[in-house]
Homo-oligomer: A and B are copies of this chain.
Amino acid sequence: MDQPSTKDADYVLDQQVGFIMRQANQRHLAIFARHVPDLTPMQFAALAQLCALGRVSQNALGRATAMDAATIKGVIDRLRRKGYVASAPDPDDQRRVHLTATPDGLAAFRTLTPRAHGTTAETLAPLSDAEQADFLRLLSKLI
């Protein structure tokens, strides 16, 4: 009654969470691409987790970065092509492929990390510090 905007009959796209979230994401991806032209956000995320975790299998890295098996495969293929990731068979489990960051990959990660942080900062820049904390807290509750 008191919420005319949720009447079933009309659908105001600009008021739907999904639509606004998608646009916020688009903006963030554009900011990231400007700060870190070398790697996509997904490639950087995979590289970062690989550097943090040391040796992991491909699927495990996928889980650590919220990518499914099919998606992480493509990301790793591209990181390997760039020379940032190396793979070797796992002696203990013959299904697995162990991934490691190459020295180049580690160097790239170290160089790009400040820029990635800059990305986060610029994305959140329209909000005050207090608002940023609020936003992140609420956003985290949605996953």
Contact = CB atoms under 8 A, between A and B. Distances in A.
A135 B143 CA distance: 14
Interface residues of A, number: 52
Which interface residue of A8, A18, A48 has the most chain B CB atoms within 10 A? A18
Interface string A19-53: 11111111111001000000001000100110010
A117 B11 contact: yes
A17 interface: yes
Given A11-B113, A13-B49, A119-B18, A24 B124 contact: no
9 contacts: A9-B110, A15-B136, A17-B136, A18-B32, A18-B120, A18-B123, A22-B41, A127-B142, A135-B142
Interface of A: 6, 8-11, 13, 15-29, 32, 41, 45, 48-49, 52, 64-66, 109-110, 113-114, 116-117, 119-120, 123-124, 126-127, 131, 134-136, 138-143
